[in-house]
Amino acid sequence: MQDTTPQPPRNEPWENGWAPDTSRAPGTRRLWLAGGLAAATIAACLTAIAVNHNAPDRSSPQAKSAGPTDGGPGLLSFASPSASTKAAPGTKSLPSSATPTATGSTASPDDGKDGSKASAEPSKSSGSSDSSGKGSDGKGSDGGSHGSKTSSAWKSVRSVNYPNRYWHVSGGYVKLDPVGSASARRDATFKVVEGLANGSCYSFATADGTYLRHRSFVLRSERDDGSSLFKQDATFCPRTSMYSGSVMLESVNYPGRFLRHQNFQLKLDSYQNSNLYWADSAFQLVDGLA
């Protein structure tokens, strides 16, 4: 029997006569189709972006006209502060003549230093009376007089918001006390004289020859040691008060500080724009109790 060796199949056409194209790699048509689809997708996306970017703004006219400070949704807007500051409702402003104006250099808060460095020429009060003892409104007023009616006269100093209490020397300090006994009335009566440091202001002398002066900003009774500092500490200038018939007493060497009572103790306190301060620093000079 003759041996036969199988032969490799020949590259013959199929039954329908088609032969595979060996000039290109298999699957090329699929790659071209996939590339075309990707290019079409990219073109569609670019077209949609361009259309949305060029779309007209359909927002309301109010939104178009609103500036960047209108504070739209999600934005913070800050208003510019007003240039004018209004006083709080219910508060009163002190008359210009009563508002303390510290002209010149003021003394150091340390009372131990020579007060001659401070200004000793404060302006006269607009509420001062003429020589007849009448104020500018034509009414008599013990508190606002600068003439002979008050100068070198024995007076008592009464509180405006505690009308039953008077300046009263007790233990060397001046307090606001009710007075009843004869000795208390004597200690609550002072000789009002021309200011030791300024003739247009006041100094208060006691019956035993001492003067009222501030030291460490507390009003007390001490004897005149002849120093310039003592004279200035014992001189107080009347200023117009918010209360009719009363005065505020400003220190000559500490402009802007007025005598006021606090816990019924007389002290020198810086001016404050408050009803309580105005009442605590308002006093009436009445006829001496003794």
* pLDDT tens digits, 183-241: 999 999 999 999 999 999 999 999 999 999 999 999 999 999 999 999 999 999 999 99
Q: How far apart are CA 144 and CA 91, in angstroms?
A: 25
**pLDDT at residue 152, as a whole number:** 63
Token pair 């703004």 is found at: 57
* pLDDT tens digits, 81-100: 444 434 443 434 444 344 44
197 vs 56 pLDDT, higher one = 197
Question: Which whole-number Å values give the CA distances from 220 to 66, 78, 211, 227, 266, in the listed order?
Answer: 68, 54, 8, 17, 8
Average pLDDT (131-151) is 39
CB 164 within 8 A of CB 184: no
Pick the CATH number of 143-287 from 1.10.1760.20, 3.20.20.70, 2.80.10.50, 3.10.400.10: 2.80.10.50
Kindly state the helix (H) or strand (E) to which residue 52 belongs, with its residue range: helix 28-53
Those residues whose C-beta lies under 8 Å from the C-beta of residue 244, and which sit 6 or more positions away, are: none
Average pLDDT (260-275) is 97
Q: Where are the domains of the chain?
A: 143-287
Backbone angles phi, psi at 247, to 5 degrees: -135, 160
Query: Which residue type, as a one-letter code, is found at position 120?
Result: A
- Of 17-26, 138-147, 191-200, the one with minimum mean pLDDT is 138-147
* pLDDT tens digits, 236-260: 999 999 999 999 999 999 999 999 9
